[in-house]
Chains A and B, each alone.
Chain A
């Protein structure tokens, strides 16, 4: 017994509607490809992040890394990052990771190993490499000192000043400097021997120095954060390897 025509037509319409809606949902989900493949939003990932492709595959988007970070450096991606929605990153200029936690807490918090559990101390991290991006604005290269709040009074970023309080990070705005020669990027770098100020000439009277990034640099972005020039003179190249252009 075949059902009446009206009912068959109704069924057919429902089936077509279902097909259309199902395709629409798959289509919507595939929109996530654009930002990822176009790399239109390169992101500095938290310490221990796997290679970008594996990182996006393995992150379960729970934000536990966000919750444990003592300087609140980690943020979650939004819809404009496609498949990166809910995936953590660090905007170093706003708030860099300064390894205040010592034990790489975000790595320990990650339930999936998207932040690789092979890492147990900050020196093993590799997020990128710092690079002197605007040598012409660098204060040390002009032989200039620095006095005042590194990033102005309105800046909300925080940093652990171990000499002030070992456990509680302070607002950068609450910790003014008075330096004869600006060495903020070297002074606040959390990694030993990652960056040094080197002379620009052999003349002993020449006060000019230039920051030189060494192989120990982990790319945390602390130098980019603390650099007091309007645009940061030193920046982190995301995921760049030592020796690569």
Chain B
């Protein structure tokens, strides 16, 4: 049921307040109801006073830059460690292939390509273990650019220089179908011609080109109009990996107990709908695993003043 809900929310449904709440969670909700406004405000202020962390963001940026640099340097210095680009590569000789690019190629070419099956199965296992959309925030080079654009957008919006328009999150689901259909119907990997992930990855490795103008246009649009437009509402790669990571052991876990419900996590989140459970009275249990659409970026883990959001590896505690 929970998994189904998390998938539905990823595909575009509005998150709903749970109907069934465990007694333990209900008791915590009730206890929090007793803490009145001024006391809560004081608690939040106190928690913020001793909390400011960018730990996970810094680690993640280092990993993202490191992975992309590995592609670039491996080619520049011809060490053949990682050959190719993010769409498909050989890592010390083993095939790796991006799931979404694999699907596009197979839909367009209408052949099952064994190298791509091997390559994308490896990748599928990897991202299933690490959390699916982990690819987005920990590897995709466009994500980093979009994160910087988002910072500018948020700063401008705070000064009321730009307005934050939103789209319906179902847009991505519809576009996913459209791009799959286009590949099938016209025999070209249509999506790849506008995919900023592929374009930026190739530009880094093989040198810049005109295609970067398209990427720059997207970024400018995101700064001026729609916060994180591509990653939130359009990119089919995100949806593909979201499906892979829906049942992943690595995830962010929410703990109701100490949460002050001030909502800092939702303000920094790329996909705030997955953090719906952090709203007051919305958690259906004392511990809640964050849903499929989560990119495991850790911004909420950094932002949370009470440590109520943490990375968790399912089953690992039982193994140890």
Binding site for B on A (CB under 8 A): 14-15, 17-18, 21-22, 25-26, 28-33, 36, 53-54, 56-64, 66-68, 75-76, 78-80, 82-83, 85-86, 109, 111-113
Contact = CB atoms under 8 A, between A and B. Distances in A.
Contacts of B167: 14, 17-18, 21
Interface stretch (B128-136, B174-182, B262-270, B308-316): B174-182
B115 A112 contact: yes
Interface stretch (B21-29, B59-67, B192-200, B299-307): B192-200
A63 B84 contact: yes
B171 A21 contact: yes
Contacts of B116: 60, 111-112
A104 B200 CA distance: 28
A32 B178 CA distance: 16
B214 to A, nearest CB: 6
B292 interface: no
B202 A26 contact: no
A18 B168 contact: yes
B75 A25 contact: no
Q: Which 10 A-B pairs have the closest CB atoms?
A: A62-B88, A32-B193, A62-B84, A57-B108, A79-B211, A78-B209, A58-B109, A18-B168, A18-B167, A57-B109
B contacts with A: majority SS = helix
B175 A67 contact: no
Given A14-B167, A14-B168, 15 more contacts: A22-B234, A26-B178, A32-B194, A61-B189, A61-B192, A62-B87, A63-B85, A64-B83, A64-B84, A79-B209, A79-B213, A109-B90, A111-B88, A112-B115, A113-B113
B193 A58 contact: no
Interface of B: 75, 83-85, 87-90, 95, 97, 101-102, 105, 108-111, 113, 115-116, 119, 165-168, 170-171, 174-175, 178-179, 182, 186-194, 198-199, 202, 205-206, 209-211, 213-214, 226, 229, 233-234
Given A53-B187, A79-B211, A111-B97, A86 B194 contact: no
A64 B214 contact: no
Contacts of A26: 175, 178-179, 182
Given A18-B167, A64-B90, A112 B109 contact: yes
A contacts with B: majority SS = helix
A28 B218 CA distance: 12
Contact of B198 (A15, A61, A82): A61
A64 B182 contact: no
A21 B90 contact: no
Given A21-B233, A62-B85, A112-B113, A57 B105 contact: yes
Contacts of A32: 188, 190, 193-194
Given A22-B175, A111-B97, A78 B210 contact: yes
A30 B87 CA distance: 20
Contacts of A61: 85, 87, 101, 189, 192, 198, 202
B194 to A, nearest CB: 5
Given A26-B175, A112-B116, A60 B88 contact: yes
Contacts of A14: 166-168
A242 B164 CA distance: 61
B105 A58 contact: yes
Given A22-B171, A111-B95, A54 B109 contact: yes
Contacts of B115: 111-113
Contacts of B194: 25, 28-29, 32
27 contacts: A15-B168, A18-B168, A21-B226, A21-B234, A25-B194, A26-B179, A28-B214, A29-B179, A33-B186, A36-B188, A53-B187, A58-B111, A60-B189, A62-B89, A63-B206, A68-B83, A78-B209, A79-B210, A83-B189, A83-B193, A85-B199, A86-B198, A86-B202, A109-B83, A111-B84, A111-B113, A112-B113
B14 to A, nearest CB: 10
Contact of A60 (B102, B171, B186): B102
**B189, B193, B233 interface centre (most CB from chain A within 10 Å):** B193
A29 B198 contact: no
A110 to B, nearest CB: 9
Contacts of B85: 61-63
B193 A60 contact: no
Contacts of B233: 18, 21
A103 to B, nearest CB: 16
A83 B188 contact: yes
Given A29-B193, A112-B109, A60 B188 contact: no
